[in-house]
Structure 1
Amino acid sequence: MSKPELADPGPVEIFAALGDPTRLSLLTKLSDGQTRSIATLSADTNLTRQAVTKHLHVLERAGLVKSVRVGRESQFGYRPEPITEARSYLDRVSAQWDDALERLKALVER
């Protein structure tokens, strides 16, 4: 049975997933492009496999990681597209603020 397709996450889901230090650490480990199992990701940490699994599922719902079943275990890998989308969103918000501040400056200087 295949996994149901998830709706594209928006910036809120992405930023919420990235807002947790544990999830950010897991994503950093995966950002080298190598897939890893839950056992590998929980090694050398104080986290249980169950805790790592919960964090990975949050990252997966946000579209930041993907999982592939290999035998009896899942391998998780990094998906860079949502980070690119989040960066684009922040660039748009930044431009809006720059425009607003320029208008305010022009108004004050009149």
Structure 2
Amino acid sequence: MSRTAEGEPAPEDVLVALADPVRRDVLTTLALEGGATATSLAARLPVTRQAVAKHLAVLDRAGLVRARRAGREVRYEADLEPLKRTTRWMDALAARWEDRLDAIKELSEEDTPP
């Protein structure tokens, strides 16, 4: 996994983590419910607890979840800040492409001398 200059997860790491539908379901559940264990997540999903643990590890490396030990259990909570940074990066990228496409359109619509 790569990091930005500030030490944050890079946008591509966040996008890779979110590419899997099970990981998106896990993150959505954590965001809506405020936290859960791998066991409680597995009870809601069509995958094993071990699979959930592996998905949580990917989400953790991307900075999208935080693990906190509570006695014998490890509770996971969503951290949506990396997703927000990735969204801002994507918005800026889209704006640059829009500017480029507008410039190409203007050039193509100009009258050119014979």
Global fold match (TM > 0.5): yes
Aligned partner of 1:40 in structure 2 is: 40
Give per-residue Cα distances to partners, 1:18-75, cap 9 Å, x unaligned.
0000100101101125110111100033311110000000000000010001111110
Separation of aligned partners in 2, 1:70 and 1:33: 17
| Greater Cα shift, 16-25 or 28-37 | 28-37
Aligned partner of 2:58 in structure 1 is: 58
Give per-residue Cα distances to partners, 1:69-102, cap 9 Å, x unaligned.
1111110000010111011011111111110011
Residues 30 and 77, structure 1, Cα contact 8 Å, conserved in 2: yes
Residues 35 and 76, structure 1, Cα contact 8 Å, conserved in 2: yes
**2:87 partner letter:** R
Separation of aligned partners in 2, 1:87 and 1:34: 21
Aligned partner of 2:8 in structure 1 is: 8
SS of aligned partner of 2:34: coil
Is the radius of gyration larger for structure 1 or structure 2?
Answer: 2
| Greater than 4 Å deviation, 4+ residue runs | none
SS of aligned partner of 2:68: strand
Residues 33 and 78, structure 1, Cα contact 8 Å, conserved in 2: no
SS of aligned partner of 1:87: helix
Separation of aligned partners in 1, 2:45 and 2:81: 27
SS of aligned partner of 1:76: strand
Superposition pairs of residues 65-80 of structure 1, within 5 angstroms: 65-80=65-80
**How many aligned positions are there?**
104
TM-score norm. by structure 1 comes to 0.90
Report whether the alignment pairs 1:104 with 2:104: yes
**1:40 partner letter:** S
Residues 42 and 49, structure 1, Cα contact 8 Å, conserved in 2: yes
Structure 1 spans left out of the alignment, 5+ residues: 1-6
